[in-house]
């Protein structure tokens, strides 16, 4: 847990030129209505960027992250002190493909869970929008099963654009590396939007959802996948929980994700826990790394296990009321 001295540490961090968020990014409540929850030792805001180590920290017993506070209004965990947008762009510009250490076919199984959830609520036609499309595992399966006539795909990592384009094939698609803006896409042209492990990376998650909503058709849906900071695994591991990392300026529970979507004017249809698929060896290696134990395991890709590891998915609808 965070110490009583963290308030002073957060104030002092301004000398490192970090962003200071005075309000909750999900509901707008003043920072004074938030309380400290968890911090690394030492907290990232007490260090310079050069002292932070790897931005994509992965599974490790020795990780640095910015201190998380809980908003007493909506319940979201957020970092009142965090990187600026310019600092983030430099850090993300050097990142690797998402989950590159996991075989593509295994990752495809995880995304298939998201596709099945989306199909329950979407007509799977018209326009398709995905923010953080990565190499296209979700978009590929959606276009195989749907009848989309136009795709807008945003992925800041330009090194994966060729792979993304290959997976989409000859379909009518716009692939962009810059930030999404509502004016990029015709209003009410999208039936299906997706933000898979994106919302917890954004400095202004509510504003982004509002922009996505402007592009949705009446009754169009958005799929949001995030980590669940109230999951049993998160409670068990405490500050060792891997999503407590430099990448995440906020983290959600089911309750706070629902409230964030509702604050953005969306009607929540469903929030469910989802499985992640990994080889048994990958899971064992991750567990050893989290507790700082040596890894001497062979590289076995089978068996592949689908387990509820603390991720959740929400589907929300544009009810049409402005």
Is position 313 within any domain?
yes
Q: CA of 156: how far to CAs of 85, 131, 170, 270, in Å?
A: 13, 9, 21, 29
Instruction: State whether 225 and 189 are in the same domain.
Output: yes
The pTM for the full model equals 0.87
Indicate whether 154 and 260 sit together in one domain.
yes
User: What pLDDT, on a 0 to 100 scale, did the predictor assign at position 299?
Assistant: 67
Task: pLDDT tens for the chain, 322 residues: list them.
Answer: 333 233 333 333 344 799 999 999 999 999 988 999 999 999 999 999 989 987 665 656 578 999 999 999 999 999 999 999 999 888 876 555 555 566 788 899 999 999 999 999 999 999 999 999 999 999 999 999 999 999 999 998 899 999 999 999 999 999 999 999 999 999 999 999 999 999 999 999 999 999 999 999 999 999 999 999 999 999 999 998 999 999 999 999 999 999 999 999 999 999 999 998 777 676 666 666 666 666 665 666 667 777 788 899 999 999 865 4
Counted domains in the chain: 2
Per the domain annotation, does 193 fall within a domain?
yes
Does the residue 99 lie in any domain?
Answer: no
Q: Which helix (H) or strand (E) holds 288?
A: helix 280-290
Domain boundary residue among 92, 122, 153? Answer: 92
Q: Are residues 114 and 136 in the same domain?
A: yes
The answer to whether position 211 is within a domain reads yes
Instruction: Specify whether 166 is located in the same domain as 293.
Output: yes
Q: Provide the Cα torsion 83, 69, 310, 87; round to 10°.
A: 0
Q: Which of 237, 273, 282, 277 is nearest to 112 (CA)?
A: 277
Same domain, 85 and 177: no
Domain termination site, one of 35, 66, 92: 92
Does residue 152 share a domain with residue 183? yes
What's the confidence (pLDDT) of residue 210? 97
Q: CA-to-CA distance for 235 and 37, rounded, in angstroms?
A: 12
Report the pLDDT value the prediction gives residue 309, as an integer from 0 to 100: 84
198 within domain boundaries:
yes
Do 283 and 236 share a structural domain? yes
pLDDT at 170: 93
108 and 221 housed in the same domain: yes
Q: Angle at which helices 104-119 and 137-145 pack, to 10 degrees? A: 50
Instruction: For residues 72 and 144, state if they share a domain.
Output: no
Domain assignment present for 277? yes
C-alpha–C-alpha distance, residues 95 and 82, integer Å = 18
Hey, which bits of the chain come out as E strands?
Answer: 19-20, 34-38, 68-71, 77-78, 81-82, 125-131, 147-154, 173-176, 190-196, 216-227, 250-251, 267-279, 304-317
- Tell me which residue range forms the domain holding 11: 6-92
Give a yes or no: residue 125 inside a domain: yes
Q: Does residue 200 share a domain with residue 51?
A: no
- Residues 85, 108: one domain? no
What span, in angstroms and rounded, lies between the C-alpha atoms of 306 and 316? 25
246 domain residue, yes or no: no
Q: What's the Cα-to-Cα distance from 124 to each of 115, 119, 127, 143, rounded to whole Å?
A: 10, 7, 9, 8
Check residue 134 and give its pLDDT.
94
- Give the CATH number, domain containing residue 294: 3.40.50.150
Q: Are residues 65 and 170 in the same domain?
A: no
Indicate the residue among 36, 71, 92 that finishes a domain: 92
């Amino acid at each position: 847990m965070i110490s009583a001295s963290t308030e002073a540490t957060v104030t002092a961090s301004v000398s490192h030129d970090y962003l200071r968020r005075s309000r909750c990014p999900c509901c707008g409540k003043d920072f004074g209505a938030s309380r400290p929850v968890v911090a690394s030792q030492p907290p990232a805001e007490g260090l310079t960027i050069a002292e932070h180590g790897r931005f994509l920290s992965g599974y490790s017993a020795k990780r640095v992250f910015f201190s998380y506070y809980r908003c007493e209004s909506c319940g979201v965990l957020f970092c009142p002190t965090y990187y600026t947008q310019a600092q983030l762009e430099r850090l993300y510009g050097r990142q690797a493909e998402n989950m590159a250490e996991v075989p593509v076919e295994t990752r495809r199984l995880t995304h298939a869970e998201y596709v099945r959830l989306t199909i329950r609520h979407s007509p799977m036609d018209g326009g398709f929008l995905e923010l953080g499309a990565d190499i296209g595992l979700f978009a590929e399966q959606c276009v195989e099963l749907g009848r989309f006539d136009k795709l807008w795909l945003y992925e800041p990592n330009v090194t994966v654009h060729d792979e993304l384009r290959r997976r989409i094939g000859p379909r009518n698609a716009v692939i962009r590396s810059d930030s999404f803006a509502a004016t990029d896409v015709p209003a009410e042209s999208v039936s299906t939007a997706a933000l898979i492990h994106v919302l917890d990376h954004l400095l202004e998650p509510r504003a982004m959802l509002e922009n996505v909503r402007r592009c949705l058709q009446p009754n169009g849906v958005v799929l949001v996948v995030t980590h669940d900071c109230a999951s049993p695994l998160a409670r068990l591991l405490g500050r060792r929980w891997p999503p407590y990392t430099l990448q995440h300026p906020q983290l959600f529970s089911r309750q706070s994700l629902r409230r964030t979507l509702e604050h953005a004017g969306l009607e929540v249809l469903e929030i469910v826990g989802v499985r992640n698929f990994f080889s048994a060896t990958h899971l064992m290696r991750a567990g050893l790394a989290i507790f700082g134990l040596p890894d001497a395991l062979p590289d076995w890709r089978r068996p592949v296990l689908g387990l509820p590891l603390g991720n959740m998915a929400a589907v929300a609808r544009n009810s049409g009321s402005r």
